[in-house]
Structure 1
Amino acid sequence: MQIKNEVLKNAEQRQPVLVQHFQNVIKHRELAHAYLFAGPSGSGKAELAMWIAMRLFCINVQDGEPCGVCEECQRITAHEHPDVVIVEPDGNAIKVDQVRFLKAEFSKSGVEGSRKVFIVAGTETMTASAANSLLKFLEEPAGDMTALLLTTNPQLVLPTVISRTQVIEMQPLSEDQVRVQFSRVGLPADLIGLTLQLTHDPNEVADWLVDDWLQQAVASVWQWFSQVAKPDLNAFVLVSTTLVPLAKDRPHQRLLLDMMLSGFRDLLMTNVADKKFTPRFAKHDKELAILASQYNETNLLEITDLGLQSKQLLERNVNFQNIAESLTLQVIDRLSEAIT
């Protein structure tokens, strides 16, 4: 029951205006057959989609709100309702077999009634051919069906798909709202500043907190960064002993590189910014000030650029350890020249 209520609560807290909008739309039977929810991670796309599904199937609607506790709401929340089809990217993309499953489901009527709802997360990760397979349904919806397509990047969604849906832009949460959401999932206060630069999605943060991964990653990246910024070749050893064990897949590798870049940014901004600047590694502000005083702005811009180039290499599927070790040696080389 707690999880079910959490879904509804998150939808209402993150997108209260849109929840009210869909209350009225459903009340007046004006729901369109297809929507594209566009917004950044954490903006409430999935929660709003689940809210709509529960509102449509709930057997105990009260004042336009789904109850969240009836059998229908429970099954939807658990992804077990046969007439609420939910597809999420398998890894980094929606795969071919998932698209085949969707196409098959589009051709079927509801199992328990006439209504059917489709929730497709990561719509932008579909290939062009996969997305085109949705067009027949979007052009000629069969029966009482509603498709809710979710995307963080509408620019990557086929224009033909966009033109056949009602596009709903998610309003981004304020920083204060995000901070509250982060606190609720258990993020330590001293990590909130850094984490805000990595995501605004509390669900992602909750995943990172499992087995203390985030805490270990932040500590390990700082240990590496404080050595590379001295500059000290011990940082090269730390890549294989502390960073690589945490880089278990591409998403975690991206996160680690983003944290490493945050260190470079802190160093640069500490060097050039006024006292109002708050470092992402805020608990190490005194050490950052000492390190930053050794270099000039040009030096720090150069190593920041090296970090950005490393992110590009990762997207080209270069091995993470090779990227991190090469970055370490290049930064040490540049900074060594700067202080000699």
Structure 2
Amino acid sequence: MLSTLKPTISQAIMTIMLTVGITNHVFIIPAILQSALRDAWVAVLLSGIPFAIYTGLLIYISSHTRNMRLHEWLEVYFGKIPSYVFRVIFTLFFFTVAWFSLFDTVMWTKVSFMPFTPVIVTSLTLMILCFSASRAGIRSITFTAGLLLPLVIVLGFYVGIVNIEQKDYNQLFPIFENGWMPILRGGLYSCTGLFELSFLLFLQPHLAKPLKKRHYLFLFVIMLGLTLGPLTGSIAEFNPFEAATQRYPAYEEWRIAGFGKYISQTDFFSTYQWLSGTCTRISLALFFAADMWKFKMPKQRSYFLLCLAILLVPLGSYALNDMTFLQLSMDYIFPGNLILLTAFALMFSLSIFISTLKKGSSIHDS
């Protein structure tokens, strides 16, 4: 009986906080810092404007689709071909999300604390865990996220408070040193992470109750805070130029955090934070990719997930230079994700508007 229960809204919110939070809190920070330097935090604040508009579009889509999967809604109102194209595009998108998260985590693991462990071993271990979670279903993913998140939050506040003596917030000023262009570029990278709030629309059909406007607004504030926190902390602790040269600024904050008189380093706590977010993100991405398709038998879904997992292991272990990967992300992956997520929200909102007009005209004609 318990296995048939759907996840609650609170579990969904905690899952999104872990899934999208790892992007805003870790993955996207180096790109924003390299683009805007001292003005990186200004770029994030300004990105709140398009993010507010985007959140409004998500609320509009959510209120009209409710408990329907997005591709099913498209099939009902616009036919099989648009639905099929949508499923193919977002299957590839979620596969890319899983690959990016896996690769960056494997590289971080190797650079930070497991330099002599073969990357294929780390990649395989993570994928076994994520495959098992995605195969178990959305309830297992959201329930686990609910257990993991509280300690992740506590540790986040801990590292922010314990390093307060190391911070000089005068480093945040003056602003607009290099004009508007660096800020605009940094804002675009910030939007890339923030716009992943759209993952909620793919999660909504599996929830016990429909999402409401206040849930989106709550996550709107949380997502901005998750980006601003480590960003301002990195600038205040290391200065903007040093922070921009660091590959993992959020992790570097942990390396100077101690605990009492006899423990000088507590960076092992960052492992829990990072792996909690990454494993939840990869598991959810795999689940969403499989959820795009109708499988007649449960075994077919398991085989599909297994194929994705097997393919991800060597891709996550590919010997790509870490800085080359960051440049690849800044030049192609982040802009591509931003374009796709923006086009998705705009086109889906337009589709709903057209369907509403059709429905209204049909009622009028009758």
Normalising by structure 1, we get a TM-score of 0.23
Q: Which is strand-richer, 1 or 2? A: 1
Structure with higher helix content: 2
Q: If the length of structure 2 is used for normalisation, what is the TM-score?
A: 0.22
**Higher Cα radius of gyration:** 1
